[in-house]
Chains A and B, each alone.
Chain A
Amino acid sequence: MKFLSLLTIIFSFTLTYYAQVDTARMQSHLYDVLEDATTDKEGVGYYDLVEYLMQNKIAVNTASVEDLMRIPNVDRQSATAIVRHRNLLGVIKSESDLRSAEGISGELIDKIIPFLIFADTNDISFFDSINKSFETIDFTFRSRGIYDLQQDQAFKDGKYYGSSWKIYNRFALSKDNNIRVGILTEKDPGEKSLNDFTTFHFFARDIGIVKNFVAGDFLFEFGQGLALWSSYSVGKGIETVGILPRNAKMIIPYLSSDENTFLRGVALRFNYNNLNLYTFYSSRNLDGSIDQSSNQITSIRLDGLHRDSSEVTHQRIVKEKLLGVSADYSFGEIGSIGILYYNSTFGNDFRHNSLLDPSGNSFDFFAGNYNFSTGRVYFSGEAAYNKISLATINSAEIVIDKNFSLLFSYRNYPYDYWSLHSSGFGEKDGTQNESGFYSGLKLRTNFGDFSFYYDQFKYPIGDEKLPLAIKGNEFLIYYSIKLFRDAEFHIRYTNQLKESVAELNNEYGVVNKRNDNLRTELLYKLSKFIRMRSRIEFVKIYPTTSSESENGLLIFHDVKYEPTDVLSFSGRIVFFQTDSYNSRVYEFENDLSGVMSNPALYGDGMRWYLVVKYNTSFGLSLSVKYSELIKPNERTMGSGDTLINSNVDNRLSFQLDFKF
């Protein structure tokens, strides 16, 4: 009853729309970027980064080329075009001023507007900021609870310490873009404590010569990610040319729920004209396994789960200290160069079991990167050395015309190059044991846009059981066309041929695998309030090229209805049918703000969900999601600890966002 009363009060206060962030634009942008990744990963980290960048907007009238390149999708050419346009006009006063810039497409401007501010607020220094009244302080709070209505077997057996709720709380305070304090706590299902995971930071900018300062948790991105990168990277997809080079964001205050990929300590950036100097120190404990007899690290655990005694035993037992320095120098429109050194020392030696495993406990990394533009050709690359071998990536983007661009990139990551903190571009994770040549093309015509890539790759060590090289290739063709004023049609085909090590008659050998995927999609806007999306996707895989194929099918229909500025409904119904888990299909779901789910669907069944969001006039937003996965022809779902004795798996999620 109290809850109902609270709801009544909240609804009665709803007078005008309060734009906490430009959620619609951000959701749409993120959906495009992340759903294309088609992996098991859920892009929460990337979402948090984009949200951070949207909340800490870049002042278009004072930003450097490098500052503008922190915005997703902005490359050096586009950033340079904005700066040139600003120099021409004197000041960019509005979005329409920006739209008159040469060399930037309307599509890109649509994507970057949420990250820009046209006033010169960034000119306020740290000391000005703290002398000002508290009126300019922004507080944001987000609280979320996710509950699976069907209990897993492990909960029924009382195996886990805590309840099956997943609970997330985040608080951030910021003032004039100059000061930010953030704290986040999270409890995964089965974990006991509400703050099983806690992250926090204090961030300040423009304190004299110190341009950025972070104490607490942070990320550091350098070059193309061969030596040091955050957890945020997007794989190959329909962004066939824009995917490289990456724009490193250097120091990023961390406020996300990934429990293992951040640094904890202090980071500073000093700026003198075009020269930036960085230094950082981190000391933290990671989850992992240490062999009791040899005292060696046998694995680093990245799942962040501490639900039972076994998992708690591995909690935060691997110590890592990391110390680094970096510098970059900008030549403005022409390009930039950067260097990095860091040392990572672990509390124990790593066990060296196979050729691909690290050994020892201290690792030094030296890296250098460059970006160089000749107008229509843009070269970029990085080389990283770990005192054993050299990993490199070099790319060239050729802009033949504003509607036609090409990308070529060669990467070489030796098998004995190992870094816990790297995330280079490639077919697989790890920036290790891979070489490849990537070619991408993007063409805009009056009769639609075409994208294409072809990637050849090779793993020098196929598998520790069979240390032979294996290879593969993959291509994508994507076509999109605006059929009518409010309707777009997309078609995407991907084909991957890949060798794999398999056991055949008690012997290991190389087999060829093939994977085909065809996706068609229609997006249309029926009115100011209603948007629809229909997708049909076929998957055909050949576990080995000599075996019979397995098929997968996905059909879904989306509706988004926004009857008023304060209320929105989005729902989806999905039907799927696959021969096995191998031919599984994915559907990237728009979810509560800050949650991006990409569930793998297999077998024969359906899934549906409904998300309702309500924004009040005083900064409070409420969101609820209900979802069901149904497999009527099965009696149970999952297996082992995740077994549920039902053919329906349903979940309820609540979220509260408050900004004042």
Chain B
Amino acid sequence: MKYVFVLFCLLLKLWGESFAQEQPGAEQIALAHSDVSTVDDVFSLFNNPAGLALIKTREIGFYYSPAPFGVKELANAFAAYCEPTQYGSFSAGYSNYGFELYKQNEFAVGYARKIANNFLIGLSSVYHSISIKNYGSKGVFVFNLGAITKLSDQVGLGLAVNNVTRSTITNESNDIPTVIWLGADLKFVKDFVFSAALKKEIGFNPSIRLGAKYSMQDFLKLMIGTSNEPNTFSGGIGIMYQFIQVDYAFFSHPDLGLTHQFGVIIRFTNN
């Protein structure tokens, strides 16, 4: 049993080190999570909740990473739903990671709205639950804040703070880290968005994330991203057909290797 526990501690550490994996969305991972100010799909719930306010129609999204870095035990799945209304966007989501002996689940709800011209704010609450066989389970609520603004048609800014309440699941401070993300995007030319973000988590060096998204056709987009701390590179492709969008992303970690992610988003038009 002790061996199993050590194994899962190791898995948890790997999970933490590959932080890009913690937050879902194939497009977000392809962009190295540089899209703090441009995130605009249903997975905003787990990234920058303000992005939910950019969603115009009802959306459901599924995301799956089958074997991150070749380790099947690290497989993770997310599902999210967003309902935009005249009072703002409401969202709910679920994620699952682990297997029989160790499981981590998240139940999330979020709300976002426009509060001024070109200014969006969002709040999400995530219930983190960890269950270890023979050790029991424990859960805690975590709150995330986000904001997005457009300074002009070409320039946008984003802010997200994860775990603003500094909730902890154990007696150790910062076991669920409080993280700040500052992001900006530039649209130099039509259909091309360059995004950059700075992430700072206590105990870790600041990480700079850069990404670019090129919407080649109405149905096709290409993404690429890179970061330091850790040094990663990533890329992906998104294909839209009528109400469905399918995304694929790859992500390379210097020590852990390559991994693949898939996402599907279904958009329900009002009519």
Contact = CB atoms under 8 A, between A and B. Distances in A.
Given A526-B149, A534-B182, A555-B182, A604 B202 contact: yes
Contacts of A605: 202
Contacts of A522: 157
Interface in B187-232: 198, 200, 202-203, 205-206
Given A524-B151, A632-B173, A536 B116 contact: no
A633 B174 contact: yes
Contacts of B206: 553, 555, 577
Given A483-B151, A604-B203, A527 B117 contact: yes
A360 to B, nearest CB: 54
Nearest to B206: A553
B180 A527 contact: no
Given A557-B180, A605-B202, A484 B116 contact: no
Contacts of B48: none
Interface residues of B, number: 26
A647 interface: yes
Contacts of B155: 483-484
Interface in A479-508: 483-484, 486-487
B61 to A, nearest CB: 28
B48 to A, nearest CB: 13
A22 to B, nearest CB: 24
B151 A555 contact: no
B42 interface: no
Interface in A566-584: 573, 575, 577
B205 A577 contact: yes
Contacts, number: 72
Interface in A615-660: 630-633, 647
B253 interface: no
Given A577-B205, A630-B166, A632-B174, A487 B180 contact: no
A487 B157 CA distance: 11
A633 B149 contact: no
A472 B22 CA distance: 49
A529 interface: yes
B271 interface: no
Interface residues of A, number: 27
Nearest to B184: A522
Nearest to A608: B164
Contacts of A557: 159, 180, 182
B55 interface: no
A104 interface: no
Interface string B70-93: 000000000000000000000000
B203 A633 contact: yes
Nearest to B152: A484
B127 interface: no
Given A487-B151, A555-B182, A573 B119 contact: no
Interface in A527-556: 527, 529-530, 532, 534, 536, 553, 555
B200 A577 contact: yes
Contacts of A441: none
Nearest to B118: A526
B178 interface: yes
Contacts of B200: 553, 555, 575, 577
B264 interface: no
Contacts of B166: 630, 632
Contacts of A631: 202
Contacts of A524: 149, 151, 157
A522 B149 CA distance: 13
B29 interface: no
B53 interface: no
Contact of B203 (A484, A526, A530, A632): A632
A483 B154 CA distance: 12
Given A529-B116, A536-B198, A555-B200, A484 B173 contact: no
B161 interface: yes
A522 B155 CA distance: 13
A530 B121 CA distance: 12
Nearest to B178: A606
A529 B116 CA distance: 9
B149 A532 contact: yes
Contact of B202 (A483, A484, A527, A606): A606
A406 B192 CA distance: 44
Interface string B149-180: 10110010101010010100000011000101
Contacts of B164: 573
A573 B155 CA distance: 23
A32 B206 CA distance: 27
B180 A573 contact: yes
A647 to B, nearest CB: 6
Contacts of A633: 173-174, 202-203
Contacts of A577: 200, 202, 205-206
B180 A575 contact: yes
B173 to A, nearest CB: 4
Nearest to B161: A573
A455 B161 CA distance: 41
B202 A555 contact: no
Nearest to B205: A577
B173 A647 contact: yes
A577 B200 CA distance: 9
Interface string A588-613: 00000000000000001110000000
A428 to B, nearest CB: 33
A555 B116 contact: no
Contacts of A606: 178, 180, 202
A527 B115 CA distance: 9
Nearest to B168: A632
Contacts of A530: 115-116, 119
A633 B177 CA distance: 11
B17 to A, nearest CB: 17
Given A557-B180, A632-B174, A526 B119 contact: yes
A25 to B, nearest CB: 22
Contacts of B178: 606, 630
A136 to B, nearest CB: 41
Given A526-B119, A632-B174, A555 B157 contact: no
Nearest to B182: A534
B180 A484 contact: no
Contacts of A604: 202-203
Nearest to B149: A526
A647 B180 CA distance: 19
12 contacts: A487-B151, A524-B151, A527-B119, A530-B115, A532-B147, A536-B198, A553-B200, A573-B161, A577-B205, A604-B202, A605-B202, A606-B180
Interface of A: 483-484, 486-487, 522, 524, 526-527, 529-530, 532, 534, 536, 553, 555, 557, 573, 575, 577, 604-606, 630-633, 647
Given A534-B157, A575-B200, 16 more contacts: A484-B155, A487-B151, A522-B157, A524-B157, A526-B149, A527-B115, A527-B116, A527-B119, A530-B119, A553-B200, A555-B180, A555-B200, A577-B205, A630-B173, A631-B202, A633-B203
Q: Across chains A and B, which 4 residue pairs bring their CB atoms closest together, nearest first?
A: A527-B116, A632-B174, A632-B173, A575-B200
